């Protein structure tokens, strides 16, 4: 379970060997959700589209279980994560990058929940 196991790719890029490929355009309602204002689409618990929400959660669980996933957008020719300013995701237009961001956030929550469950209550993990 490593965030490196999640990668956004553009429509002209090929998926990594051994990675499951998912196309954001094929997920019902995901693009409409990610088209909303940052304050809305970044608040996963408030998503109204359950199908898109379940898809994001399922991808986070894939990564949690050790599967590499590639998220392909149809809005970019190619995505170079070295050029993307991850600190300012609110200005990001790419659906693949936005999806990857949300998957990473949900993955963080899954990992934190596991740590809390394993804690004996004497300290906060």
| Model pLDDT for residues 105-117, shown as the tens digit of each residue | 999 999 988 888 7
In a domain, 56, yes or no: yes
Whether 35 maps to a domain, the answer reads yes
Pairing mode, if any, of strands 69-72 and 6-9?
parallel
For residue 100, being part of any structural domain is answered with: yes
- Sheet of 69-72, strand order: 6-9, 69-72, 20-23
The reported pTM is 0.86
Backbone phi, then psi, for 53, in 5-degree steps? -65, -45
Cα 110 from Cα 30, distance rounded (Å):
21
Q: Does some domain include residue 125?
A: no
81 within domain boundaries? yes
- Under the banding of pLDDT at 50, 70 and 90, the label for residue 36 is very high
Q: Is residue 124 part of a domain?
A: no
Q: How many domains does the chain have?
A: 1
Range of the domain at 92: 3-118
Indicate whether 123 belongs to any domain: no
**Three-state SS at 6:** strand
């Amino acid at each position: 379970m490593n965030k490196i196991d999640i990668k956004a790719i553009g429509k002209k890029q090929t998926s990594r060997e051994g990675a499951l490929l998912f196309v954001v355009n094929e997920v019902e309602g995901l693009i409409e959700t990610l088209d909303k204002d940052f304050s809305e689409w970044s608040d996963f618990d408030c998503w109204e589209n359950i199908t898109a929400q379940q898809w994001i959660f399922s991808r986070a669980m894939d990564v949690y279980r050790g599967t590499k996933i590639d998220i392909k957008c149809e809005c970019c020719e190619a995505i170079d994560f070295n050029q993307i300013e991850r600190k300012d995701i609110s200005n990001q237009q790419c659906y693949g990058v936005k999806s990857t961001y949300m998957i990473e956030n949900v993955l963080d929550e899954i990992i934190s929940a596991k740590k809390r469950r394993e804690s004996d209550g004497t300290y906060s993990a």
